[in-house]
A and B are shown apart, each in its own frame.
Chain A
Amino acid sequence: MLSIKGLKIAVENKIILHDLDLEVGAGEVHAIMGPNGSGKSTLAHVLAGRDGYDVTEGDIIYDGKNLLEMNVEQRARKGIFLAMQYPVELPGVSTLSFLKASVNAMRSSIGEQELDAVAFMKLIRSKAKLVGMDEDILKRPINTGFSGGEKKRNEIFQMALLEPRLAILDETDSGLDIDALRVVADGVNSLRADDRGMILITHYQRLLKYIEPDFVHVLAGGRIVKSGDKTLAQELENRGYSWLEAESAA
């Protein structure tokens, strides 16, 4: 589904990612862990198509197509979803109008008819229920005045609504208390599917207690320094990141 080869990314001439390789297949959940500043969020942003990153080398092939040639909305319409680390507040922007525009943009891009108001609300209700989201939140402007937990839950809600092919969760666990974390994790688990790939970006191992990854990769100094199965996460929890950083420097 996603194949990253030899990716090199620079921001303002500073290289953030070096020779990164990653293969994500349908139905797989990959966790990318690493210390602060290792380039985890950069990878998430580059996949979503955010401005400000120079891809100086390498390729990203998504479903057989060159992802780097698509703009942000084209990627979204092809099923790439980024649950943001810091969902931005959009004061005054109606959550429902936004969600409707979003759902319908996705539908028209694949030639499906746009949903009318009734069908849309029905969909909204079912998905809100799925991720345990308070419907009152939908009446407020997007993310505006939301608590950290509400913002993150809203991201998972949107993911449920848009049913992406490839979901990238950028530090969705950060800033959540244990109850919120469990709710978010339940939402993510309910969205695991054979045709859906997921990339979980996280600093801590605790999210992986609730969402079991198929693969764990450690990103340090802009490189994947180690890959393994879920036991690697436990090892990191016990030993920290420094031994890997030392290993990779050696």
Chain B
Amino acid sequence: MSVAYEPIRHYREALAQGLKGSSGYSYPWLEKQRQVAASRFLHQSFPTRKDEDWRYSGIDRVLVHPFLPAGENVSTLTEEDLRHDVLYQLDAYHLVLINGIPVPALSRLDGLPAGVHIMGMREAMVQFPDLLAARLGKTGQDETQMFMLLNRALFDDGCLVYIEADCVIDKPIVLNHLTTGLPDNYMFLPRNLVVLGAGANAALIERFGSTGPSTCFNIVLTEISLEHGAVLDHYRIQEESRHTFHMSRVSLQQAARSRYEGTSITLGSAWSRTEFNARFDEQDAVCLTNGIYVVDDGQLMDFHVDIEHAVPSCVSRERFKGILLGKGRAVFDGHVKVLQDAQQTDAHLSNTNLLLEPGAEVDIKPQLEIYADDVKCSHGTSIAQLEPEQLFYLQSRGLDIKQAKQMLCLGFVSEVLETCKAQVVMEYVGSLLQREFLKLFSDG
């Protein structure tokens, strides 16, 4: 007799199975972290619509799939297969991860400057055990989020980017996360750690893509730690196939005078959720996060931003722009918390959306939670449609409706696009968006 599929039971079993597998490295601190996460997972349930944080996220769409952790990599992807990948051709340091596992044969890490370390997480466990013991799992709050617990309990690989104090890297770093070549219903659980020592400076591009149509689930946890005066430009480009499910968390911790500038581009996946959490540990740090999302019929894109100002004189800015088509759905939840001691905080949150069709929906929840009295905090959100007058102007100059829409949509997101400091990234994302709009509008 067959037993009806029940998500929580399936995932509990998957966790138990996964814990038995050997990861080839082991440290007491790590095993403890895994156990804590596993035990929490086993005692909790998946969130439902009744949980405020998941109210609009439609998590059932994910849970109906009986995803299982993938084992060793079986990919046969070659450099030749990546020949047309514009991003892969960038003059940069490339670490390619297939299904969450670094592939040295595809990576290009020769000639790294002294003090710059980029490698797979397994290798890092051998080369930098002390650094990992001190940093891994140390950013952010106590973990209770079910998918992140799965990652924390089961992660097997991922990558480390470690830039020592005062080192400046001459080229951008590309972490190219590709999913490919497996049958349906596997999940990947890469774990990434980025540490910039005092005064270090780097540009990091995290890219999520897929080369095949298999249904899979990417659960990615990236922790970033910026020490005194470190500067990181961080680009995240999610362009996975429409068969992919994507859950990622960026957990950022900033020391004094550090500066983080993040740009998040989300186009892909059937369902995706990104949680961006930042915490200022010391004064005079700056955190700027910008994002563009384009959500088509059948897609759901969920973005949760959580910024905590615990100390005085820090600056945070979030600016997200979304374009929705068909019955596409987006969720934007921006939460800025300013604690009592965080005087002279300067925080601004903005989210604007363009709904191109009547069936599209966006749920926006800006929240400012302020306990200090000498602060500058604001938020603004909006939902609009394309102006008929603007379309008419473009059409009266000979552009057809598709071109006109494409141009207006590019114009709408340009404000965010122009904040990309790396010219190569701006160009890549610009052409990516152009192609995406062309594809989306060519159906009518």
Contacts and interface: CB of A to CB of B under 8 A. Distances in A.
Interface of A: 48-51, 71-73, 75-77, 81-82, 84, 87-88, 90-94, 97-98, 101-102, 105-106, 109, 141-142, 158, 162
A92 B413 contact: yes
Interface centre among A51, A101, A141 (most CB of B within 10 A): A101
Contacts of B415: 91-92
A229 B410 CA distance: 47
Interface centre among A87, A90, A141 (most CB of B within 10 A): A90
Given A84-B393, A88-B390, A90-B390, A101 B399 contact: yes
List the 8 shortest-distance A-B pairs measured between CB atoms, nearest first: A92-B411, A93-B411, A92-B414, A105-B398, A72-B395, A76-B398, A102-B397, A73-B395
Contact of A98 (B387, B401, B407): B407
B408 to A, nearest CB: 7
Interface centre among A48, A73, A81, A105 (most CB of B within 10 A): A73
B403 A101 contact: yes
Interface of B: 387-390, 392-401, 403, 407-408, 410-415
A82 B394 CA distance: 11
A90 B393 contact: yes
Nearest to A102: B397
Interface centre among B393, B396, B398, B411 (most CB of A within 10 A): B398
A217 B104 CA distance: 78
B413 A162 contact: no
A109 B398 contact: yes
A48 B387 contact: no
A94 B430 CA distance: 12
B398 A90 contact: no
B311 to A, nearest CB: 36
B411 A102 contact: no
A51 B392 contact: yes
Contacts of B389: 88
A105 B397 CA distance: 9
Contacts of B411: 90-94, 141
Contacts of A106: 398
A50 B403 contact: no
Given A90-B408, A92-B413, A98-B407, A73 B399 contact: yes
13 contacts: A72-B395, A82-B396, A88-B390, A88-B393, A90-B390, A90-B407, A92-B412, A92-B415, A93-B407, A94-B411, A101-B399, A105-B403, A162-B397
Nearest to A99: B397
A162 B413 CA distance: 28
Contacts of B414: 92-94, 141
A74 to B, nearest CB: 9
Given A51-B388, A101-B403, A76 B397 contact: yes
Given A91-B411, A92-B415, A98-B394, 11 more contacts: A76-B396, A77-B398, A87-B393, A90-B408, A92-B410, A92-B414, A97-B407, A101-B403, A101-B407, A106-B398, A162-B397
Contacts of A92: 410-415
A50 B388 CA distance: 10
A43 B440 CA distance: 35
A75 B395 CA distance: 9
B59 to A, nearest CB: 34
Nearest to B387: A88
